[in-house]
Each structure stands twice: as structure tokens, then as C-alpha cells.
Amino acid sequence: MMMQSMKGLVLAGLAWLGLSVGAWAGSDVGPRAPGRFGYYVLSLTWVPAFCAEHRSSGECASGQGFALHGLWPQLEGGDYPSACPGPGLAPAERDRFAGLYPSPSMIDHEWPRHGTCSGLTPAGFFALSLADERRVAIPAALRSPRTLLAADVRAVRQAFLAANPGLPVKGLWVSVSRGVVTGVEICFTRRGAFRACS
């Protein structure tokens, strides 16, 4: 009982400091009407952490640091819709945007699970994903792939906030799994401006 209380206090303290101890915290509420959401979360994967667990993946030879994982429509409050009704992904669109992600196969996951909820066409959704990714300045100190430990969370946050004027302190989430930084999530308005996450 005492150990559970201590763990709760530690997690509450980390949350108060704005430190993440896991993946993005919203819940999947399933399909909704396309276009009915509040804001976007841009998820950037720290590729070295991914490669540490998936050594056979093609993107692991690329020497990448942060790479686009996805652009996720979010509801106010932090939950998110998924697999909304929408068109399928045409082969021409798949080919055109396959290089957007570190692994070409990710496009087949990101469109049906998240893109369909945007209310945009596939081309519009992937163009917005690219535009929002380009709005984020990757800090110079985080452009070289290496292992980032949970102890580095504060430095990662400070580097992103310093490199991105206008990014609110509560607009950035650093994800950690198994003691290493796995990525960052940055919240955007539907018009592509930084905003606080809810």
C-alpha cells in the first residue's frame, strides 16, 4: 500500500513538472463523423529508440533522429476518434506520400486509423501532415541519432521549447518507454498554429 502511494506521488510530481512517463495519454473512442474534433497532435518518433526494439526495420539504416509518426485528430479533453468512415487510399496517393514516414508501410496504418477522421481527402491530410511537421524546428542538439534516457526528458522539452517560439509549455509531450525517450507529441490547431494540449 505504501509503495503504491509513493508511486502515485512520483507520477503526480512528474506530471506537475510536465514530464511524460508513457505514451500519449488519450483514449480511443472509435469512429466519429469525419472532421468533428478539436485539434491535432503531431507525433514524432525518436527513430533510435524504435530501432533498438526493431533492428530489422529498413528505416534503422537511415540514421534518422526524429521522424513523422502521424498527425492525429484529437477531441478536446485528450481522447481521440479512430477509423472514421472515409475513402480508401488509392495506389497513386500511397505512392505519392509513401516517403512521408520513416517506413513506407506506415501510410497504410495512418490513413485508415487517423486520416479518415480529419474530414480531409488523403492528399489533403498528408499535405497537412507534412506542413505541420515542417513547422516544428528540431533542436540542433537532437538531430544526431543516439539513445535518449528518461533522465533527458527535461532537456528534450527545453530544447524543443527554445527552438520553437510560440510553442506553449503545455503544447509538448515527451514520451518515454522502458527508460528511454521514444518520441515527442506537439499540439496544433486545425489551422496549423501551436496550442496547448488538453
Write the pLDDT tens digit of every residue in 45-93.
998 887 777 665 555 656 689 999 999 999 999 899 999 999 999 999 9
Alpha carbon 118 to its chain centroid, in Å, reads 16
Tens-digit pLDDT profile for residues 30-46: 999 999 999 999 999 99
Q: Indicate which residue of 59, 93, 109, 114 is catalytic.
A: 114
Domain edges within the chain? 18-188
In the residue annotation, 133 being an active-site residue is answered as: no
Give phi and psi for 113, each to the nearest 5.
Answer: -85, -40
Q: Is 53 a catalytic residue?
A: no
Tell me which of 1.25.40.10, 3.90.730.10, 3.50.50.60, 1.10.101.10 is the CATH number of domain 18-188. 3.90.730.10
- Please state the pTM of the whole predicted model: 0.84
Q: Which residue of the set 59, 69, 133, 185 is catalytic?
A: 69
Average pLDDT, the chain: 85
CA distances from 130 to 84, 99, 117, 174, 178 (A): 21, 10, 17, 20, 29
Question: Which of 59, 93, 110, 185 does the annotation list as catalytic?
Answer: 110
**54 belongs to the catalytic site:** no
- pLDDT digits 0-9 by tens, 79-133: 999 999 999 999 999 999 989 998 888 999 999 999 999 999 999 999 999 999 9
Three-state secondary structure string covering 28-80: EEECCCCCCCCEEEEEEEEHHHHHHHCCCCHHHHCCCCEEEEEEEEECCCCCE
